[in-house]
Structure 1
């Protein structure tokens, strides 16, 4: 029972010393603002971990500079004055709880892992071990702290997968705390070991090599290791979820929070302990101002996705209660609980929820959110307002079936796009397909995560919480309002919550529409490094270089075309037809070789030069192909090369094409690295190369060696290429540019925020790819 009911909260807490954890989080920040504003005689110690080189004290000072503290700071005479008079920093965190002051009157534990699907070891370490260590430090401190009032912020969802009314009391379950804790903490080492078994590694390596072998085996190896780490994370999440559900909880979060309560209940035998269980915490109803929220909580991603037209259905029954509570009600209840400690040995439980006395169903939530977006729609660029989905609440199985069908269709489409010829249309389709893929990933994650909550037929009895509220003075019922029965859901959702949630997104949309879209095709401006009229003489180059691929980047050509340009020129009409037929018959196998290993592909093509005289090939280029090669150069590419030269940069051509074909481009480049055909003692090509072709990672190694030799700063340098096989080359420099990229490189460039350009081919590129073919007509 609450003693001395009508004594104001501020008087009860006057002169008290309270430690708060989690003040940099959503609830903790709101709690700090409330007690600083309404309980002026309360002295606070804040447990905050340092972040990088930023100390705990500096983090608290930065926190107090936020807008919601502005009036408090102004009244106190500044952040430093407020901290000096009322706030002390205690550096540490739940992973390493420091010794606590020995004069604490209470401790409010708001910190914890609030992710619904944390890796299982992290969930146990934060929500169970962290709580135990904090309570252990209270006992060690001695003095008043040993018997201080401990207020534990839990969650209403520790009730798990049960149905019906949940009373404010201990959760009945048979889970063995120590056994589950030992198991949970041991899982990372176990999973790390399993991630290194042949079965897991072979699967991930095969996928990585299939995707990245053209770029190089080390690139594939790095991708394999990244995939292994992702597998570890997914497996730790999966293990936590499955163990939780096998014991009757929705997920690892609620499972570990319930076990954390067991730790508190054990310590309640020796000190006053209160457990506060909020339901789904959302934006403020009144204070610090209506709609105040930080970050995305549980409902926000779903509301935004619906407003974007990207959430076609939800796996909830229309009449199921979604239990939402404004954050200011939660922190007001915490302060009231803090001011009314229970007896030792009799822990107090308080549900801060709405579903028992003021239920909001999913149907009502949907109707209110839809009405809001009907009045205030998102704008889909020039297409106008986003079309909102009509929810019919068909049931979880139907929603799962629709999602699975969409995922299968996306997988098929992704395969087709990945094997389609490159081009503007292919890249545009890839971009749209990637957007759809991200939407499907979002739907899968949130539907899997929230399905249990959407189907939870629970009502949290909040009788203890209501009794506490009714015991407050009339003034405190205004200052510390937490009677959720007063919330008008239509007003809250349509006039407060949805506007607050969508406001930052609308600002981003306005900026996007103003700029039409972040322009990744805008190349970095080049400034002459040696002043106006910078010399283009090689001897006066700066320490910046620009590395260019040739085929597909500068020229609308490829290795096979280059071979035909050269070989068909020296053959008669019938021999040309025979050569064309022979090459055409090999194209399918060449394409497969190119996808497997570009080195093998180049060697296959260059075997066709066997018997040709190298000097005659050079003469053909000089006498017949120079004009043709130059007319196939992209004007945008030539302009960019000249910009680099004007800026004093060293220009370098690195290509898998044979060296004779690069002769027309020599005036544009300081250095040219091309494939050298091996010749016998008579000057005839053997069908082999003089040295291994530069492809994939070998190009990156060559560039690094070239940079060392010429004093090039690669971080300031540029590279231009079009193929996924050139990924290592592009990643070597600080300014990579993907030019008309294939789908794989296009996707990597978008993820990495690289510049993507579409250098148009010249009008003459519409002519036959091989000028020699003109004579066959």
Structure 2
């Protein structure tokens, strides 16, 4: 970025004018916020090409209409354009039926050529974010998808920037301050191990073939294959020192980007846990469940009475609209710098840390003031949720409270010729589910690391705040009053949009 050049709303909005932008992952939480924001602040954007998984053009069109444009998030724009909303959208948004897991993004050669001539900016948000996803699926989307996009990007004659959304957790869970530095291809979090991506792809293929019995198509083979692929992902992640399949494959995605970016200007945005929209266009809007929301939803639905959390621990969270603002500011600031790679951690643990206690208190306050009601109008009493600050304590509690009674039930069931089979199987399934949650989410609940955001801080320091318009692009977590945000915006948002 040119020294001394200041960023304000006018410069970011001006940057987007007449641009052709390819966006992957537009049907996801962050993708929708980005598409809406660009349309709202810069109606003179040339085109936004939304690559979505679909069999053909009409079904791509339908997906974008239903899942993106049809979302409550687009209410402000709808009101602004009234009758003209649909034609405005049709003029600006081009749905593309394709798939980043395929060579050439699953597009026809003619479409690809036309796009390559037209494209200014590529923003890759597509990812599978499931912690316990099948290894083959995660590798396809989070790793090979990046490679295919790089390949396309290098064919774009006028490309100003490739922006890739990763996650702050790619660097593993060290207890130190985690810097905004690139991940070197081949490096592993475990000393003395080298990570070879091609070998991982081969391994996933071999295990998949073995598990499916050489491609058996019946339900039993499919189930065996799914289980084997999920377990392989977790096992490989932990072998190399990452806590789950998602963060492991996202780390590999960054490595692939480093290997294939050539001299393209690249920005990697690494948000921590993304929470609901804080300011605009719709405070509290949310899609999908984040790690911390499992608690709120479990409590609201009364199906979790105990959970794993140390209230003194810092949870690194950042509202979705702030992540998008940071993305747009970074794009405007770093565009067109040949060969440059900039990494930004959109995080809060260093500059405005918030503990689980704040979320817990805000939840208590919310449910005390807005009691939940049963279908018959009866008020559900608020019970204290039992929290365990270590995994061994939680396991012990689960064994004494659930596992022992289960074993007794199992014995009774055998004596009484299967009278309690259904009850036993249901309870056992629930017990296993909770223990699995602990296994997968535990490392997140006790994450001790703190993310450095110096690069983002220096980008923030170039942001001018003269007009109310400039506030529209704020990405400074220091201005957030977390107590107020969770109580007034986030918890009601989760209950309204996620916990339907």
What's the TM-score bracket when you normalise by the shorter of the two chains?
0.7 to 0.9
Distance 1:357 1:130 in 2: 33
Partner in structure 1 of residue 403 of structure 2: 407
CA distance in structure 1 between the aligned counterparts of 2:425 and 2:57, rounded to whole angstroms: 38
Q: CA 1:336–1:401 in structure 2 vs 1: closer, same or farther (change >3 Å)? A: same
Which of 372, 390, 395 is residue 390 of structure 2 equivalent to? 395
Separation of aligned partners in 1, 2:254 and 2:150 = 12
Q: Distance in 1 between matches of 2:225 and 2:490?
A: 37
> In structure 2, what is the Cα distance between the partners aligned to 1:340 and 1:298?
32
The alpha-carbon deviation at position 335 of structure 1 amounts to 1.1
Aligned with residue 256 of structure 1, among 244, 249, 253: 249
What does residue 94 of structure 1 align with? Answer: 100
- Secondary structure of 2:286 counterpart: coil
Among 128, 142, 149, the alignment partner of 1:127 is 142
Residue 227 of structure 1 and its aligned partner are, at CA, apart by 4.7
TM-score normalized with structure 1 length? 0.57
Please give the residue correspondences for 1:254-653 in structure 2 after superposition, counting only pairs within 5 Å: 254-341=247-334, 343-379=337-373, 384-405=379-400, 406-414=402-410, 416-417=412-413, 420=416, 436-437=427-428, 439-474=430-465, 475=467, 477-503=470-496
Matched residues, number: 474
Contact 1:64 1:73 in 2 (8 A): no
**Aligned equivalent of 2:37:** 34
Distance 2:198 2:405 in 1: 42
Contact 1:268–1:346 (Cα < 8 Å) also in 2: no
Q: 1:113 aligns with which of 125, 128, 147?
A: 128
Separation (CA, whole Å) in 2 of partners of 1:321 and 1:103: 44
Aligned to 2:52: 48
Separation (CA, whole Å) in 2 of partners of 1:333 and 1:394: 34
Equivalent in the alignment of 1:163: 175
Distance 2:194 2:79 in 1: 48
Residue pair 2:151, 2:260 contacting (<8 A) in 1 also: no
Correspondent of 2:69 among 64, 67, 77: 64
What's the secondary structure of 2:77's corresponding residue? helix
In structure 1, list runs of 5 or more residues that go unmatched.
202-221, 509-777
Equivalent position to 1:16, from 10, 16, 19: 19
Query: Is 2:174 the partner of 1:179?
Result: no
* C-alpha contact (below 8 Å) 2:276/2:285 kept by paired residues: yes
Q: 1:120 touches 1:252 (CA, 8 Å); kept in 2? A: yes
Question: Is contact 2:53–2:97 with CA below 8 Å preserved after alignment?
Answer: yes
Question: In 2, distance between residues paired with 1:136 and 1:290?
Answer: 38
Q: Give CA deviations for 1:82-131 in whole Å, capped at 9, x if unaligned.
A: 23432222221112203233221111101111111111111111111011
Equivalents in 2 of 1:419, 1:412: separation in Å? 11
Contact 1:18 1:104 in 2 (8 A): yes
**Corresponding residue number in structure 2 for 1:153:** 165
| Structure 2 contact 23–125 (Cα < 8 Å) conserved | yes
Secondary structure (helix, strand or coil) at the match of 1:170 reads coil
Give deviations 1:545-581, integer Å, cap 9, x for gaps. Answer: xxxxxxxxxxxxxxxxxxxxxxxxxxxxxxxxxxxxx
Q: How many Å separate the matches in 1 of 2:374 and 2:78?
A: 41
Alpha-carbon separation, structure 2, partners of 1:500 and 1:30: 15
Give the whole-Å Cα distance in 2 for the aligned partners of 1:275 and 1:90.
24
Does 1 or 2 have the higher relative contact order (CA < 8 Å, sep 6+)?
2
2: CA distance between counterparts of 1:355 and 1:412? 46
Deviation for aligned residue 1:470: 3.0
Is the 1:268–1:344 contact (alpha carbons within 8 Å) kept by the matching residues of 2? no
Say if 1:168 and 1:464, in contact at 8 Å, map to a contact too.
Answer: yes
Tell me by how many angstroms 1:276 deviates: 0.2
Cα drift, residue 387 of structure 1: 4.3
Q: Distance in 1 between matches of 2:453 and 2:308?
A: 27
User: Please, which of 228, 239, 252 is the counterpart of residue 235 of structure 1?
Assistant: 228
- Contact kept in structure 1, 2:275 and 2:290, CA below 8 Å: yes
Instruction: Report the counterpart of residue 91 of structure 2 in structure 1.
Output: 85
SS in 2 for 1:114: coil
Q: Aligned pair in 2 of structure 1 residues 484, 264: CA closer, same or farther (>3 Å)?
A: same
- Taking a change above 3 Å as real, the CA distance of residues 440 and 150 of structure 1, as seen in their structure-2 partners, is same
What 5-or-longer segments of structure 2 have no aligned partner? none
Structure 2 Cα separation of the partners of residues 288 and 415 of structure 1: 57
Contact kept? 1:166, 1:458, Cα under 8 Å: yes
SS at match of 2:51: strand
Give me the whole-angstrom Cα distance separating, in 1, the residues matched to 2:497 and 2:153: 41
What is the CA–CA distance in structure 2 between the aligned matches of 1:50 and 1:353, rounded to whole Å? 33
1:374 is displaced (CA, Å) by: 2.8
Residue deviations 1:604-661, cap 9 Å, x none? xxxxxxxxxxxxxxxxxxxxxxxxxxxxxxxxxxxxxxxxxxxxxxxxxxxxxxxxxx
Q: For 2:308, what is the secondary structure of its paired residue?
A: coil
Relative to structure 1, the CA distance from residue 188 to residue 316 in structure 2 (aligned partners, 3 Å threshold; closer, same or farther) is farther
- Structure 2 CA distance for partners of 1:392 and 1:27, relative to 1, 3 Å: closer
Structure 2: distance between partners of 1:300 and 1:257: 22
Q: What's the CA shift for 1:274?
A: 0.2
Deviations 1:589-614 (A, max 9, x none): xxxxxxxxxxxxxxxxxxxxxxxxxx
Q: Aligned partners of 2:245 and 2:309: how far apart in 1? A: 21
* TM-score, L = length of structure 2: 0.86
Is this contact kept in 2: 1:38–1:479, CA < 8 A?
no
Task: Describe the shift of the 1:118–1:478 C-alpha distance in structure 2 as closer, same or farther (beyond 3 A).
Answer: same
1:436 Cα offset (Å): 4.2
Contact 1:269 1:346 in 2 (8 A): no
Contact 2:20/2:120 (<8 A) preserved: yes
Structure 1 residues 494 and 433, CA gap change in structure 2 (3 angstroms): farther
For residues 228 and 386 of structure 1, do their structure 2 counterparts lie closer, same or farther at Cα, with a shift above 3 Å needed? farther
Provide the residue aligned with 1:190 in structure 2.
207
Verify the 8 A CA contact 1:10 1:40 in the aligned structure 2.
no
Q: Give, in angstroms, the shift of residue 298 of structure 1.
A: 2.4
Aligned Cα root-mean-square deviation (Å): 3.0
